[in-house]
Amino acid sequence: MELLYASCVGLLVSCGVFLILRSRTFPVVLGLTMFSYAVNLFLFSSGRLSLNQAAVLGYSSDYADPLPQAFVLTAIVIGFAMTAFVVILAIRGRADLGNDHVDGQVNDKTKDNNHQKSHHKNKKVKV
Amino acid sequence: MMQNLTFLPVLLPMLAGVILLMPRLGRNISSRRIVSVALSIITFLASLALLLKTQAEGSQVYAIGDWSAPFGIVLVADPLSTLLVCLTSLLGIACTLYASAGDDEKGSYFHPLVHFLILGVNGAFLTGDAFNLFVFFEVLLIASYSLLMHGGDKRNTRAALQYVIMNLVGSAVFLIALGILYGVLGTLNMADMAQQVASLQGDDVYLAKIGGLLLLVVFALKGALLPLHLWLPNTYATAMPVVAALFAIMTKVGVYSMMRVYTLIFGDEAGELSHMAQTWLWWLALATIAMGALGILASKDLSKLIANLVIVSVGTLVALIAMQTIEASSAAIYYLVHSTLVTAALFILADLIGRQRGDVADHIIAGPPVLQPRLLGFCFLIAAVAVIGMPPLSGFIAKVWLLKATLNAQYTVVFWPLYLLASLAVLIAVSKAGSTVFWHHHGKATDSVEENLVHPAQLAALIILVSAAPLMSVFAGPLSEYAIGAATQLHDFNNNIKIILSGEL
């Protein structure tokens, strides 16, 4: 169970980080959401993983740590509010800046690529 | 009532925010202004009362909901945190006053948001629980996101988007750090954490170290320490100046958290982990000072210049924290109060100067003369002398004190030249800016004279902030005694633990 849980968190974090590093706002927002899911799962596991244990005293012979569950609940609520805010901000950025790039300006990567490609072609032709 | 005094600096701004959202006040702008300023004055008085009470009776511990530490959340009012709470509330008064002259109409809900921001900052200063610190961080951040957008244009949206994304990543890292630390230590009460850290063994030591250093990343992001400072100049320069003045306290929240975490939890008594972040803090702080100084020299307008001054002040503070001595910490406390008030005053001054110069705004180039050169020039002179650190104002005292405090440190050879060179850069840049703005002018003054004269409310806010520098040097004696007392208590490990964990007060 620990291995499955840990790799799940790890996968979410790596996807999240990859998406956050993208240049457009939509993938970044998705990345932030994934990252916060991963964080919530991680925080939950800090009270140790266990099966069939109630978080309330007296309901089972052993009990789970209730504090991380409270942390996760708080973190989920805050993360939800923040995600809502960043979505609205991204939409406003799209309207204000005329594009959906985090930097507010389109850096002409596609153009550069085309340029490079044509450059390569030229080289090949020369060769 | 007196028993609950510790909670009032957190509770009052929250009530103020809610009251200001009520329908009648929501519509009528002038009554909203009066109520907002009045409420921020009440918050300040409550903070002052708390400060006097902690002076008279020693540190106060308030268990929220009467759940005693380490299980419940506690608020700890010791000399350091109450001083900073007073500072925040004072800044709150100045900003609500200043905005009442018209800035609050440029967007919606300015006043409630300011009070919510103060709620978050005061809470972050007072709390004795690491997870609660995260919650208050989020409160102040979400208020700051909205304030940053207040009355903004397109430039603003871009800066806000980057600021929000940076801080969301920061919050996620904060949670990971807290998760690791809770998993290892089994508690998030700061005093209890400090006790548990020393008894860690084996792999847990490294896990705790990872957690502690992740916290450093978060605080460095909030406090704008190199290399995580890049968001600051843009954010502060595009925010409305009154908002930027209020933000002057926000970097200090990060610095304050470092102070708490790396002197209390990972301080002298932390066994294998004692002073684990010290080297990092020290070199990063020096690099921050250097970058800030370069930024100051390269700034083309006043607000950017002041934003870079904030970076230098953060670097200086963190260098002092990295020393981990009582003397350095007390110098840091005095410097913190001084630099917050002076940078806030400068942000406001830059706004007033910019308004009176028409299209030239606050660019550091020759332009139309300001309408009230005597008033603004005099205020600018005071603030500039203070920020440069020339006698006789507070900046000089802070500078001498921190140079003296660093005299016996390991790397004085590096710190002194770097810091003095940075001061020289500040001196050159600020005096150049001042002389260009006030003396090199051409053309006629702007037409709309009436509108752009300093409004009485703005003047009051300006006087509150600018008078801080002379007052801090007049009352340097009592203030420095207070700072030394606060620093002594900050470093007094056993006393802190005893006060917080005993809980029955």
ipTM confidence score? 0.83
Interface test with B, best of A21, A49, A96, A102 (most B CBs within 10 A): A96
**pLDDT attached to residue A77:** 92
List b or e across B375-391, with b for residues whose CB sees 16 or more CB atoms inside 10 angstroms. Answer: ebbebbebbbbbbbbee
Count of CB atoms situated within 10 Å of the CB of B461: 28
Read off the pLDDT band of B365 (50, 70, 90).
confident
Mean pLDDT within B182-206: 86
Cis peptide bond upstream of B470, omega within 30: no
> Taking each helix axis from N to C terminus, what angle separates B110-126 and B8-21, rounded to the nearest 10 degrees?
160
User: Does B158 contact A25 at a Cβ distance shorter than 8 Å?
Assistant: no
| Residue B89: per-residue pLDDT | 93
Q: Can you tell me the mean pLDDT for B469-494?
A: 87
Confidence at residue B505, expressed as pLDDT on a 0 to 100 scale: 42
Q: What is the pLDDT of residue A115?
A: 47
> Residue B362's closest CA among B375, B345, B349?
B349
Q: Please report the pLDDT score of residue B448 as a whole number.
A: 59
Percent of chain B with pLDDT over 90: 25
Q: Span B99-112, mean pLDDT? A: 83
- Cβ distance A46 to B182 less than 8 Å, yes or no, reads yes
Average pLDDT, chain B: 86
CB atoms within 10 A of CB B177: 23
Closest-approach residue (CA) in chain B for A28: B165
What is the arithmetic mean of pLDDT over B282-303? 89
Q: Do A43 and B179 touch (CB under 8 A)?
A: yes
Q: How sure is the predictor about A108, in pLDDT bands with cuts at 50, 70 and 90?
A: low
Per the CB < 8 A criterion, the answer to whether B136 and B124 are in contact is yes
How far, in Å, CA of A75 to CA of B283, rounded?
Answer: 33
In single-letter form, the type of residue at position B471 comes to: L
pLDDT at B388 exceeding the cut of 70: yes
Whether residue B450 has pLDDT greater than 50: yes
| B312 lies in some domain | yes
Mean pLDDT is lowest, of A10-19, B266-275, B344-353, B495-504, for B495-504
Q: Which residues of B touch A103 (CB under 8 A)?
A: 158, 162
Residues B384 and B345: their CA atoms lie apart, in Å, by 10
- For residue B128, give the 3-state DSSP assignment: coil
Q: Measured between beta carbons, which residues in chain A are less than 8 angstroms from residue B179?
A: 39, 42-43, 45-46, 68, 71
| Residue B262 Cα, gap to closest chain A Cα (Å) | 22
In sequence order, what DSSP letters do the residues of B247-304 get, joined into one string?
A: HTTHHHHHHHHHHHIIIIITSTTSGGGTTTTHHHHHHHHHHHHHHHHHHHHH--BHHH
| Percent of residues, chain A, with pLDDT higher than 90 | 35
DSSP-derived letter for residue B76 is: E
Cβ of A82 and B142 within 8 Å?
yes
Give burial (CB, 10 Å; 0-12/13-18/19+) of B280.
middle
Tell me which residue in B135, B168, B182 faces A82 most closely, judged by beta carbons: B168
Is A97's CB within 8 Å of B154's CB?
Answer: yes
pLDDT band at A41 (very low <50, low <70, confident <90, very high): very high
Highest mean pLDDT among A113-127, B114-128, B400-414, B439-453: B114-128
CA B437 to chain A, closest CA, distance in angstroms equals: 31
Residue window 242-261, chain B: list those with CB within 8 Å of chain A. Answer: none
b/e sequence B420-446, b meaning 16+ C-beta within 10 Å: eebbebbbebbeebbebbbeebeeebb
Contact B303, B362 (CB under 8 A): yes
Q: Is residue B322 in some structural domain?
A: yes
pLDDT at B42 over 90: yes
Domain of A58, in residue numbers: 2-126
The values of phi and psi at residue A101, to 5°, are -95, 145
At A117, the pLDDT band (50, 70, 90 cuts) reads very low
Q: Is B157 on the interface with A (CB under 8 A)?
A: yes
Q: What is the pLDDT of residue B257?
A: 92
The string of pLDDT tens digits covering residues B62-104 is: 888 888 777 788 888 888 999 999 999 999 999 999 988 877 7
Number of domains observed in the structure of chain B: 1
Residue A121 clears pLDDT 60, i.e. is over it: no
Q: Which two tokens stand for residue B413?
A: 């050879």
Q: CA A22, CA B211: separation in Å to the nearest integer?
A: 27
**Mean pLDDT, residues B318-328 taken together:** 87
Q: Which two tokens stand for residue B444?
A: 């006629």
Total domains in the fold of chain A: 1
Under an 8 A CB cutoff, do B131 and A71 touch?
yes
Q: Which of residues 181-210 of B touch A (CB under 8 A)?
A: 182-183, 188
Side chain identity, residue A29: V
Question: Over the stretch B418-433, which tens digit does the pLDDT of each residue have?
Answer: 889 999 999 999 988 8
Contact A97 B157 (CB under 8 A): yes
Cβ neighbours of A28 in B, within 8 Å: 165
Tell me whether residue B238 is in a domain: no
Pick from A20, A48, A89: which is nearest to B164 by CB?
A: A89
Q: At residue A103, does pLDDT exceed 70?
A: yes
* Per-residue confidence (pLDDT) for residue B366, from 0 to 100: 78
Residue B405 lies in a domain: yes
| Spatial contact of A81 and B168, defined as CB atoms under 8 Å apart | no
Q: What confidence tier does B25 reach under pLDDT thresholds 50, 70, 90?
A: low
Rounded to whole angstroms, the Cα distance separating B121 from B88 reads 7
Both tokens of B129, joined, read 């629980």
Counting Cβ atoms within 10 Å, is residue B65 exposed (0-12), middle (13-18) or buried (19+)? exposed
Q: How confident is the model at residue B503 (pLDDT cuts 50, 70, 90)?
A: low
- The pLDDT of B258-262, averaged and rounded, is 89
CATH number for position A119 = 1.10.287
Could you tell me which residue, B169 or A55, shows the higher pLDDT? Answer: B169
pLDDT value at B124 more than 90: yes
Interface of A to B at Cβ within 8 Å reads 20, 25, 28, 32, 35-36, 39-40, 42-43, 45-48, 67-68, 71, 74-75, 78-79, 81-82, 85-86, 89-90, 92-93, 96-97, 102-104
Q: Classify residue A22 as left (phi > 0), alpha (psi -120 to 50) or beta.
A: beta
Nearest residue in A to B164, CA atom: A86
Residue tagged 């919050």 (tokens): B171
Which residue segment(s) compose the domain that B344 sits in? 277-492
